[in-house]
Amino acid sequence: MQMEFLVIVLGLLSVVFLVSTFYFATRKNENRELAQMADNLYRAQAELAGRLSQLNDNNTRQQAQLAQSINEQRVSMLKMVDEKLLEVSKNVGQGLQQSTEKTNQTLHDLRERLAKIDVAQQKISSLSEQVVSLQEVLTNKQARGAFGEIQLNDLVTSILPPSAYAFQVVLSNQKRADCVLKLPNPPGTIVIDSKFPLESYQALRNASTEREKTEAERFFRASVLKHIKDISEKYIVAGETAESALMFLPSESVYAELHANFIDVVETSYKAKVWIVSPTTLMATLNTVRAVLKDARMQEQAGVIQKEVGALVEDISRLDERIESLGRHFDMASKDIGDIKISSGKISKRIDKIEDIELGTSYEKPLAVEHLTGHQQAS
């Protein structure tokens, strides 16, 4: 629009200049004055063209600067959004990778423990085949105690992880426990005792008459009850161990004899919270303990996963807030651009007014020339 107006003005000025030149040429007496006026007209035309060119250059430069500023803001905002999205994606990817690694590690541990169970079962089978006579092994008290501890050690180490048990532990009451199972509260640490008095059982097995059998039964009952009482008093410590303990019998036959013919003794052990176990039932108990430990670890892992998920939710919430804030910034930028356009329109209008004023000033000279020409014709 401005350029078209400039072309029109320049055209008009050129026509005026040509007419004036022609007119001045026909008036030889007025050559000097007309030449001066033509020169003034040419200078005014050149000055007006220079001003219009300068205004056009300023307007073009301002528009270029405005476009560059808007482009820089847009690039900066896009870069910031890309960085935030990349950071969030990286955090989510790391969380998922860590969870996958932990899951794979847990599955690997489970496979290793299943393999250990198979090895333990093979060891137990081999041990059963190699034991020819339990009576020969239990001929003396020291060998009998060592046999019970070894069997207990084999069962515990083959089923549970090393962190879940300990052997020959001294309690706060200075009593030494053959084995302790480290369980989370509740129930807490459980003590296993393997020093069962098998002399009374051997006497019961060797009784040949009714009188000897009766006396052997009385002796067996008293020995087992005393051992139950000792375990309850020594290995159930309030605030340190669980409320119950295990009495390990290294022989299935002794376990069967107690539950078949000495029910009152078994009931007494229940009341004293001393659970009687054989190799088979202890294996089942240890598998249950392993399941409890596994569940506790899974709960810990679940807590970690829940914590990570909570952190992820917080990150997503912060991302939503930042995206909303970014949207507000975009809205403000759009408003600023609209204001800039309004200001640019006002500037253009003011430039048009300035051009009108300058054009009005330049038109006075052609009018003066026309007035002078009419005066000369009249004379």
* Residue 276 φ/ψ, nearest 5 degrees: -85, 130
Last residue of a domain, one of 248, 277, 306: 277
User: What is the number of alpha carbons within 13 Å of residue 101 lying toward its C-beta?
Assistant: 6
Instruction: Supply the DSSP symbol for 30.
Output: G
| 343 is a domain residue | yes
- 145 and 267 assigned to the same domain: yes
In a domain, 124, yes or no: no
Same domain, 60 and 190: no
Same domain, 268 and 360: no
Q: How high is the pLDDT of residue 33?
A: 66
- Predicted local distance difference test score (pLDDT) of residue 373: 45
In single-letter form, the type of residue at position 187 comes to P
Does the residue 200 lie in any domain? yes
- Residue 245's pLDDT is what? 92
* Distant-in-sequence, close-in-space partners of 377: CB < 8 Å, separation ≥ 6: none
Contact 191, 180 (CB under 8 A): yes
Residue at 262 is within a domain = yes
| Residue 44, CA distances (Å) to 165, 205, 366 in order | 108, 140, 11
> Do 260 and 156 share a domain, yes or no?
yes
**pLDDT for position 117:** 82
- For residue 181, the enclosing domain spans 134-277
Among 213, 201, 217, which residue's Cα sits nearest to residue 251?
201
Q: Are strands 245-248 and 274-277 parallel, antiparallel or unpaired?
A: parallel
pLDDT of residue 292: 79
**Of 215, 250, 277, at which residue does a domain stop?**
277
Q: Of 244, 259, 277, which residue sits at a domain end? A: 277
- Tell me, yes or no, whether 19 lies in a domain: yes
Amino acid 28: pLDDT: 55
Distance from C-alpha of 348 to C-alpha of 354, rounded to nearest angstrom: 10
Q: Is the whole-model pTM more than 0.85?
A: no
| Residues 146, 270 within the same domain | yes
Does one domain contain both 261 and 357?
no
Q: Which residues of the chain have pLDDT under 50?
A: 132-134, 136-140, 142-143, 360-379
Split into its structural domains, the chain has a count of 2
21/24 Cα distance (integer angstroms):
5
Residue 291 lies in a domain: no
Residues 193/249, Cβ–Cβ less than 8 Å? no
For residues 270 and 338, membership in a common domain is answered with: no
Residues 369 and 234 in one domain: no
Res 1: pLDDT? 54
141 and 240, same domain (yes or no): yes
CB 238 within 8 A of CB 185: no
Report d(CA 317, CA 52) in Å as an integer. 56
Which neighbouring-strand residues pair with 169? Answer: 177
Query: What is the structure's pLDDT at 267?
Result: 92
Query: Does residue 293 lie within any of the structural domains?
Result: no
Residues 273, 332, single domain; the answer is: no
Q: For Cα atoms 318, 321, 323, give the angle at the middle one, nearest 5 degrees.
A: 110
Closest alpha carbon to 117 in 73, 172, 161: 161
Cβ 149 vs Cβ 196: under 8 Å: no
